[in-house]
Amino acid sequence: MITRFAPSPTGALHLGHIYAAKVAHDIAKAHCGHFHLRIDDLDTTRCRPCFTDAIYNDLRWAGLNWHGTVSFQSERHTHYAKAISQLRDMDLLYPCYLTRRELASMTQAPHGTPHGAPDIASPIVPINTDRLIPDSEQKRRAADGQQAAWRLRMDAAIKHANAHIQTHSQLNWREYALSADAGLKQATPEIFGDVIIARKDLGSSYHLAVVIDDMLDNVSLVTRGVDLQSSTHLHRLLQALLGLPTPNYLHHPLVTDSCDKRLAKRDKAQSIAALRNRGMSADTMMSILPALPDYESVGI
Ligand code: GLU
């Protein structure tokens, strides 16, 4: 059993992060497995080293010690680039020169959830964005040196995955949620439309990076908040296209405040550092976390 906690160092951790880390830590511990720490610092425009140090501090203070060396997305660009050229060689990616504003004015803008995952209830996302502006204009932008984002041609990608997937397996994953959602889940990546796989400013995207990371770190059970569950539909497709193993998944509930609002990094008063500075002990902090579900009962 190898689990992981993968925070982005874009702000101070709050109780929701400690809960997520504890789920991954405790499941690994119960199985004498490994709890891995990965720093998701792909987005260099938003990540700060001081927040990485604070992550180490908060986890150690909470008694959530990780195994082995920490991995960093910022050190894995060559792996991401290799996967992107693999997809490009398969003719599944195309450049998109449209700005966000142009795209929004030409299409119905997608609903925002973390990392641009579509809201499952209203899956309207752009497709074939290369057909929204004439070829000549795309060529002009390329000649001008404008950077392009690379989008997945979703219909071709799904066809390719289904044609190459082993006959006895399917585009699905095993979900260990503690609800009716548990069991084998059929991936429906088409909800993403022609999703961006390589951002023009970063050279990769969250989605591509995490599937490569989970493979590099040999993660066998991805535990993360239920807000990222829709992303798994796309991650499963990318795994199939790139020939990567599929881990199992457990999307856990999110920690909310007394008004039932999910905690946010921008609310500094709720950060772990703020609780510690107000004199709270680590034991007290752990005791106010929602109880961890009984994962044994769902077969983990
Ligand atoms: N780094 C991501 C986040 O903080 C989580 C990555 C993942 O669990 O897939 O939202």
How much is the mean pLDDT over the chain? 90
**Residues 4 and 37: beta-carbon distance below 8 Å:** yes
Helices and strands in the chain: count of H runs, count of E runs:
10, 10
- Which of 262, 260, 264, 282 has its CA nearest to residue 273? 282
Give 272-280 contacts, CB < 8 A, sequence gap 24+. 272/12, 272/13, 272/14, 272/15, 272/17, 272/18, 272/58, 272/61, 272/62, 273/12, 273/54, 273/57, 273/58, 274/12, 275/15, 276/61
Atom 6 in ligand 1: which residue has the minimum CA distance?
A: 6
What tokens were used for 152?
């997945």
Question: Which of 115, 223, 251, 263 maximizes ligand 1 atoms within 8 Å of its Cβ, making it the mutation to test the pocket?
Answer: 115
Residue pLDDT, tens place only, 145-194: 999 999 999 999 999 999 887 655 689 999 997 777 789 999 999 999 99
Determine if ligand 1 sits within 6 Å of the CB of residue 34.
no
Averaged pLDDT for residues 56-70: 98
Tell whether the model's pLDDT for residue 297 goes beyond 90: no
Q: pLDDT at position 123, please?
A: 46
Residue pLDDT, tens place only, 179-192: 777 899 999 999 99
E strand or H helix at 215? helix 206-216
Which residue ranges form the domains of the chain, and what is each CATH number?
2-298 (3.40.50.620)
